[in-house]
Amino acid sequence: MTGKKRILSGMRPTGPLHLGNLHGALNNWINMQEHYDCFFFIADWHALTSDYEDTGNIAEYVRNMLIDWLSAGLLPDKSTLFIQSRIKEHAELFLVLSMITPVPWLERNPTYKDQIVQLSNKDLSTFGFLGYPVLQAADIIMYKAYGVPVGVDQVPHVEITREIARRFNYFYGEVFPEPESILTQTPKILGIDRRKMSKSYNNAIFLSDSPDEISAKVAKMLTDPQRARKSDPGDPDVCNVYEFHKLYSDSQNVERINRECRTAEIGCVECKEIMARHLINALEPMREKRAYYETRPNLVDEIIEDGCEKARKVARQTMAEVKAAIKI
């Protein structure tokens, strides 16, 4: 990996991974393994910011997330895969950065305001929730990452990290590079009810779903709302099932579905059945890998330990530099 620029990204273990996670982040990570020195972590401390009252499933979600990553194609010999809470230096750097981060920077964070509204059923009036961008900054600059792969909506997160790194360097000298946002193109993929795919909306197709579970969920997918009967011509451009066809069916099938939907030669039930078969077939290699790792818990433990040790080695060096800079 020598000579490659380092990137870092993470996911919160708040439930099983779904197709939105696969297309929104995981596939990009997999492709980046060949071109970057990749550090990918499971952000279990970040899960506490919103789920601090119910932590019983976090450990299970952490393990299942790693298995999902491995099953999808992240490779331990090409990427450093680790668990945030196993690297205590993250908490140490978070504490240092919290001493220099102005509160107004956190209060103006657009994600903070949005999530207060979206998660109105939870009490988010905590220091941890307000300060999570500081922990996020610690996660990133701990490894002196060149960049962070993000979607457009996440660019403000990286910008706060850049501001915090810049402020630290102003007070104590040049220790941290300012990370760049690496914008990634992600296909639009919605849940079975046409809302954003999310575990909390109960509209997700999970990477760990069985073929029967996938078929049942696809059968419930919303289609063209104007098409009440099979004999009515449809508009695939407003149909969520067709969006899935474009991801999982070959070009010949996509063209046929488009044509036959518009001329009412194919009904929604048959269209869904075809797409479900293609989706199930596409996920079959992932299911096989998942079964492999689920029956080898010792191998999973070894991958976790190796990844955490690699990350810990870098984090210890960074904290030594931080302590030298602030003279404590």
What are the domain boundaries of the chain? 6-189+297-326, 209-290
pTM, 2 dp: 0.93
Q: Can you give the pLDDT at residue 175?
A: 99
Burial class of residue 8, CB neighbours in 10 A (0-12, 13-18, 19+): buried
Query: What top-level class would CATH report for the domain 209-290?
Result: mainly alpha
Laid out side by side, the sheet with 79-83 consists of 79-83, 37-42, 6-11, 147-150, 180-183
Collect the ranges in the chain with pLDDT lower than 50. Answer: 1
Note whether 50 and 129 are within 8 A (CB): yes
| Angle, alpha carbons 91-96-97 (nearest 5°) | 95
Residue-wise pLDDT for 118-151, tens only, equals 666 677 788 888 999 999 999 999 999 999 999 8
Tokens (6 digits) for 243 = 């969006």
Please name the residue that has the structure tokens 């194919």: 266
70 Cα distance to chain centroid:
14
* Closest to 137 in 3D by CA, of 145, 149, 125: 145
| 79 Cβ neighbours under 8 A, 6+ residues apart | 29, 33, 38, 39, 40
> Does residue 55 contact residue 8 with C-beta atoms inside 8 Å?
no
Classify residue 21 by its DSSP letter: H
Q: Cα(250)–Cα(3) distance, rounded to whole angstroms?
A: 38
Rounded CA gap, 8 and 310, in Å?
A: 14
* E strands, 68-144, in order: 79-83
pLDDT at 119: 67
Q: Could you tell me the two tokens for 104?
A: 């107004």
Q: Which is the CATH superfamily of the domain at 6-189+297-326?
A: HUPs (3.40.50.620)
Q: How far apart are CA 316 and CA 93, in angstroms?
A: 11
| Separation CA 46–CA 192 (nearest Å) | 27
pLDDT of residue 1: 45
